[in-house]
Amino acid sequence: MKRSVLITLLLLAQSSVFAQSLFQLNEKTEKEIDEIIAELTLVQKVGQTCQITLDAILARDEAGNLLEPIQFDPAKFNEALCDYGVGSILNVSSHTLTLEEWNGLLPKVNNAFLNKKIPVPIIYGIDAIHGVNYTVGATLFPQEIGLAATWNNELALRFGEITAYEMRKTGLRWNFSPVLDLGRQPLWSRYFETLGEDPYLAGQLSEQIILGYQGKTGSYLDNYHVAACLKHFVGYSMPQSGRDRTPAWIPKKFMTELYLPPFKKAIDAGAMTLMINSGDLNAVPGHANKALLTDLLKDQWGFQGFTVSDWEDFIMLETVHDLANSPSEAIAMAINAGVDMSMVPNAPQYKTYCELLVTCVENGDVSIERLNDAVRRILRVKMATGLYDKKTYKETDYPLFASEEFKKSAKQSALESITLLKNEENILPLAKNTRVLVAGPTSNNLTYINGAWTHTWQGVDTSYNTKDCETIHSAIAEKVGAQNCEFAQGARLFFTDGWEDATLTDTADFKTKAAKSDVIVLCIGELPATEKPGDIRSLRMLNAQIELAKMAYRTGKPVVLVLVEARPRVIHEIVDGAEAIFQTYLPGDYGGSALADLLFGDANPSGKLPYSYPKYDGVIEYYDRPKSVDRSGKSNAFDAFDPEWEFGFGMSYTEFSYSNLKLNKTEMTQSDELEISIDVTNSGSRGGKEVVQVYLSDVKASIVPNGKRLRRYEKIELKPNETKTVKFILAKADLQFSDVDGNWIIEPGTFQIEISGIKSNFDLK
């Protein structure tokens, strides 16, 4: 029955009347900011909006090489900070620094303010996206896609807290994280930086990460927290070509339902800064998108913090997007659209930016009010992060840096993220006296299990690897004893002309060692890479690795396939031949030892896929597909939804059974809440964790409804034979969907709740 009544809601989430980000400074601070702005010259105000890379002010020898250990060039330092009044520095020059090295650099930056050489403190930004990856010894967690696979809010919070703590120990206060782009284009090289395909899961976890980064003290951070930066607003993750920084086309409905909600949730949670999408969305470059940056984000959502451009992006409005006729026009366009800080990393680019922006203000292309607004927003974050606070912190204030407690937490995240996708005849867990051949290109290298943004941008330099962390091979050898553990690489991954490639190696050695083993643990996957270097031409797993798997199957030995991959690579032709399959994502420094615990039953898998794993190259599917995709039992029946594994899937060594789904009412009104409960029993023989997932679908609607959408989840732990009743509450906002014009609507009618295949209906009046 098609309903005629359509209740269009004034979208709460997009209404300025209700917008209230948690990040709001008090009147006293706003007055102090007024006073600071009144004292700044035009050049100094412009300087505040300018961000340069550390490289731009480091000393080099005559050949242009950096002096080691890296150190400031005093002339460049003074020119940037004093003459141009640069307000922010980012990153580290292809290095990972020790705490001592950081300590040799950052106080110099801070002292420039304390000694009154510059009027405003510098805010230093860094990509600590899975731990403080540019500080030697810091605790490295799984990449965000793995964190999402834990479905565990507490672990997301803990990740944020530990990362913030270790940043503060390093002397840093601004993290370019989390990435809130949705993972719906697996070809994209930064898929692993996302929290997966679902906006609800991504929103819940991002809220926890932000709480972890920024703490619970409201708008003013304490000494253990840092400012978050939401990336990359918005649509960056959906390049139609799959290539990084190429155009995205997203209908209004999907913007409202999918891509904007995680950002809205994070802004509401108090996120202080936001980085802008480098690409163009619906033909509008992120940096020229006034409708998104100013009208929606700042005016309607009430965002009080500042936006920062991505790397060199304002220039691209002229050189790539062809909107501006000159750099000057590009600058005016970006600032007027709502960009507050520009990442103009190198010299002379940053100087050109500053000089041109001064002229733009002088000739009225950018109003002084707009510039003051940008500076005010930047100052708010500088105030909130305590940069005006003259206290210095002692080494002893952060005793837990790289502690066993932090490592344990990173390992727990890895343990709960790694996802068991297949376990034929319960071949797993393996006995500890099994003779194992550990093989494959990703089995014996710490950087492969960490991925990009590990110690260096692309994560390929092994010289900074964290000491005493296990690779997959060494962790398995530790379980079974070196005498029972053979190793053969079998294939090698490399780049040819900038594209990924692989070749088989030492096949004879592989076969000999396989013959001596009971089981082959075969680790395949991807090279660490991100952004343009991570672009790929096909989702299919590189052929040499497919061949290696087939060769392993031909030995007749059982094979446990271990995927170490930044995105789900198509492996359909080798799924059947494997006895067991683990997806490890990029599990970080403790991923090797976590996988070994899971393989040998010292831990029970509980990760669940945060995306639909594609079965065929070129066929990308989402679990929340429109109902018209599923035609089982209908005329012209065929089911177009056919992933290798569905979103939310992941096996355990124990069994969980669900029963007794109850709704507290069969009729709900617009003002009601709906209470849902279900009993979950561990009917197997091991303790384990399970993610209870609540899905909702609209039975009939005015436009094709989704087959199901995730509305709630909870990760619970159950001992053998234990039963828990898990309760959830849904409100009317959980029933809304977007119409084709991007407006949230709710329609009365019948809805269906589904938990683990058990269904129950209710009506909305």
Q: Measured from the CB atom, is 92 or 551 closer to ligand BGC?
A: 92
Q: Measured from the CB atom, is 310 or 373 closer to ligand BGC?
A: 310
Q: Can residue 310 be called a binding residue for ligand BGC (CB under 6 A)?
A: yes
Which two tokens mark 215? 């703490």
- Distance CA(141)–CA(407), nearest Å, equals 9
Q: Can residue 176 be called a binding residue for ligand BGC (CB under 6 A)?
A: yes
Q: Measured from the CB atom, is 401 or 453 closer to ligand BGC?
A: 453
Residue nearest to ligand BGC (CB): 176
Residues in region 676-735 near ligand BGC by CB under 6 A = none
The least CB distance from residue 532 to ligand BGC, in Å, is: 9
Q: Measured from the CB atom, is 88 or 652 closer to ligand BGC?
A: 88
The least CB distance from residue 53 to ligand BGC, in Å, is: 8
Closest CA to 569 of 613, 620, 623: 613
The least CB distance from residue 180 to ligand BGC, in Å, is: 12
Q: Can residue 311 be called a binding residue for ligand BGC (CB under 6 A)?
A: yes
- Distance CA(290)–CA(562), nearest Å, equals 45
> What are the beta bridge partners of residue 273?
229, 306
- Give 582-631 as a 3 state SS string: EECCCCCCCHHHHHHHHHCCCCCCCCCCCCCECCCCCCCCCCCCEHHHEC
Q: Can residue 231 be called a binding residue for ligand BGC (CB under 6 A)?
A: yes
Phi, psi (rounded to 5 degrees) for 62: -65, -30
Closest CA to 489 of 470, 513, 468, 466: 513
Q: Can residue 127 be called a binding residue for ligand BGC (CB under 6 A)?
A: yes
Instruction: Give the interface size with ligand BGC as a residue count (CB under 6 A).
Output: 9
DSSP letters, 319-350, are HTS---SSHHHHHHHHHHHT--BEE--STTHH
129 secondary structure, DSSP code: B
The least CB distance from residue 126 to ligand BGC, in Å, is: 8
The length of the chain in residues reads 765
- Distance CA(534)–CA(565), nearest Å, equals 12
Closest CA to 180 of 213, 154, 158, 223: 213
Bond preceding residue 232 cis, omega within 30 of 0: yes
Q: Measured from the CB atom, is 350 or 487 closer to ligand BGC?
A: 350
Q: Can residue 188 be called a binding residue for ligand BGC (CB under 6 A)?
A: no
Beta strand 758-764 pairing with 667-668: parallel
How many degrees, rounded to 5, is the angle at CA 310 between CA 304 and CA 316? 120
Residues in region 521-550 near ligand BGC by CB under 6 A = 531
What element of type H or E holds 458? none
Site string for ligand BGC, 88-117 (x = CB under 6 A): --xx--------------------------
Residues 6 or more apart whose Cβ sits within 8 Å of residue 243 = 187, 189, 532, 535
- Distance CA(347)–CA(124), nearest Å, equals 18
- Distance CA(144)–CA(131), nearest Å, equals 10
- Alpha-carbon torsion 470, 474, 475, 481, what sign? negative
Q: Measured from the CB atom, is 128 or 559 closer to ligand BGC?
A: 128
Q: Measured from the CB atom, is 194 or 219 closer to ligand BGC?
A: 194
Q: Can residue 184 be called a binding residue for ligand BGC (CB under 6 A)?
A: no
Q: Can residue 168 be called a binding residue for ligand BGC (CB under 6 A)?
A: no
The least CB distance from residue 531 to ligand BGC, in Å, is: 6
Q: Can residue 597 be called a binding residue for ligand BGC (CB under 6 A)?
A: no
The least CB distance from residue 102 to ligand BGC, in Å, is: 17
Check if the beta carbon of residue 729 is closer than 8 Å to that of residue 674: yes
Q: Can residue 287 be called a binding residue for ligand BGC (CB under 6 A)?
A: no
Which two tokens mark 599? 């393989």
Which two tokens mark 699? 């039975």
Q: Measured from the CB atom, is 90 or 167 closer to ligand BGC?
A: 90
The least CB distance from residue 428 to ligand BGC, in Å, is: 37
The least CB distance from residue 70 to ligand BGC, in Å, is: 17
Check if the beta carbon of residue 86 is closer than 8 Å to that of residue 77: no
Within 10 A of 43 (CB to CB), how many other CB atoms are there? Answer: 14
Q: Measured from the CB atom, is 220 or 311 closer to ligand BGC?
A: 311
Q: Measured from the CB atom, is 94 or 403 closer to ligand BGC?
A: 94
Closest CA to 262 of 330, 338, 208: 208
> Residue 572, exposed/middle/buried by CB under 10 A (0-12, 13-18, 19+)?
middle
Q: Which residues are catalytic?
A: 310
CA distances from 701 to 4, 510, 585, 605, 761 (A): 9, 57, 37, 38, 15
Q: Measured from the CB atom, is 91 or 289 closer to ligand BGC?
A: 91
Q: Can residue 45 be called a binding residue for ligand BGC (CB under 6 A)?
A: no
Look-up of token digits 């409202």: 256
By the criterion CB under 6 A, which residues form the site for ligand BGC? 90-91, 127, 176, 231, 275, 310-311, 531
